[in-house]
Structure formats: C-alpha cells, structure tokens
Amino acid sequence: MDNDDGLIERYLEHVRVEKRLAQRTLELYSLDLQKLSEQARQAGVPVLQVQNAHIRRWVAQMHGAGRSGRGIALILSGWRGLYTWLGREGLVKSNPVQDVRAPKAPKPLPKALGVDEAVQFADFSAEEADPWLEARDAAIVELLYGCGLRVGELVGLDVQASGTAKGWIDVQAGEAHVLGKGSKRRSVPVGSKALEALQTWLAAREAGAHAQQPALFIGRHGSRLSAQAIWQRLQQRSLRAGLATPVHPHMLRHSFASHVLQSSGDLRAVQELLGHANIGTTQVYTRLDFQHLAKAYDAAHPRAKRKG
C-alpha cells in the first residue's frame, strides 16, 4: 500500500500532460483519488487489489453520509479513469469501477402554489396604466390556473376554430380545445372565472388595432404572444401581487393539478385534464397531495408534533 501514493502521482502527471487539465481540475482529481487511497487503506487492501464489492460498499457509505448522487458520480468518474489507466499499464486485470453507478438523485417535486396563494394571484388586479394589458394578463392567469394548460398550448390558442388553428376556446360550451404534446388534441372545461376574464379580454382585444390577428393572446404590435413573454409577465405580476416566489406558467399547471387532486382524489381525471399519456407522470401529484395532508395532520393532531 506504500506504492499507492506513487501510482496516483504517476496517473495525475499522465492526465496533466495528456489531457492538459486545468490546475483546479487536477486538484479535484487528486482529492478524489486520495479518498480512494484512504478507503483502500482502511479496508486493508492496496489500490491495485480493490474489488467491485469494495467500490459498491464505499458508494453506499458516501450515500448514507449524505453525499449527493452527482457528487458520487464525479468521484466515481475519477476512480474509473485511474483504473482504466492502470489497465492499460498492465497493472490490473479489470476495472472495479466499470459497472458501478451513483445513486439516482430523487426527482424534485414540481413547485405548486398553495390554494390561498393561487387564489390571491388569480384575484390580483394590477393598477396598470394600460387596462388592455391588465385584461390580457388576467385572462392568461385564469386559463393557466383554471385549465392546467401548458404554456405552449396557451400560446397556440386562436380566437376562433379554423382549419389551421392549433387550439381555441368555445365560450358557449365552456371548453378549451388544445393541441398538446405528441400532437394530441384534448378538451378541458373552462371555469366561470376564466370565462369571465376571457370575455373581458376579448372585448378589449376587439377594440384594439389588431383584432384581425387570429391568435387569442397578442402583443401590442399584433403578433402572437410568445412563451417567453408570458413567463416575464407572470413573474412581474407575481411580485406585484406580493407572492414570495416568482410564478411561472408551469407552476400554475402544477397548482391546478395539485388542487384538483386534493379536492377530488381522482387521479385518472387529473391525468385526462393534464393530457398525460402515462398515469405515472400524473402520480407525482399524489406526493404533493401527501405533503398537504401531512402539514394539515401536523398542525391539527395532538399526537403529531414531537417534543423538542
């Protein structure tokens, strides 16, 4: 094991020359390989005799100690490179790191507003100098939160149905017809608040200079509003509404799904409303729903809170 440091130094010199790595990268490589040497020393084996089982045990220990999957992946990459070089040098017969992968990081839960926050945002009326913009932005918020539309589905809406329209809203029937992912069409109900906001916007839009434009949501110059513009308008509006977190379109879609599921418990219905091909995609909202229930339990049940 006394030769381990020498082997690592030779390898670091090799990658410095061959790969022309920056000094900072070399320092990180060195730290990761020192960790390998320390682990091998604790296990009572030289680096050249480390086995696949050793690597797996050390990965489990790092994961248990709280190191992230990404951090472990970077360490394994450095170790894997060392053993690849040792193999080319004829010093090891196989690479013990070759088929070892870092634990997958858990998927973060989608961000959703609480019910009170969502209602506060939807009810917010900006003191705009331009009532045309206010009417448009209010209708955008109501449709995103009230129908769970993707931002791409929203920007694709036209005022009327036509052979070229990707989507439109049937005001009389109270339905939005949209073109979703995979060019799949679906219809979703439009609630009374969204219909009210939409009718206010349509009246303001008709009085504007570009009423002949087919797009439902347009900018001042008459062009179809872009997804980026909607992101910007929502973020600005959420700050003015006093929300702690800037709101983006997909957050309103997540809020729609979470709140419908909390009230109904009908996962299949939420799947249909969101246009998910696979119910597994929709099931993430059950985790959001459980968080909501857990908070309510912790706040209300006398046995829920633990003593400090």
Residues serving a catalytic function are 150, 181, 250, 253, 276, 285
- CA distance linking residue 208 with residue 195, whole number of Å: 20
DSSP conformational letter for 186: E
Contacts of 300 (CB under 8 A, 6+ apart): none
Distances (CA, A) of 66 to 56, 70, 71, 77: 16, 11, 10, 19
- CA distance linking residue 230 with residue 209, whole number of Å: 21
- CA distance linking residue 28 with residue 282, whole number of Å: 40
**C-alpha 37: how far from its chain's center?**
37
- Class of residue 152 by CB neighbours under 10 A (exposed 0-12, middle 13-18, buried 19+): middle
Phi, psi of 177 (to 5 degrees): -110, 120
Q: Are 190 and 198 in contact (CB under 8 A)?
A: yes
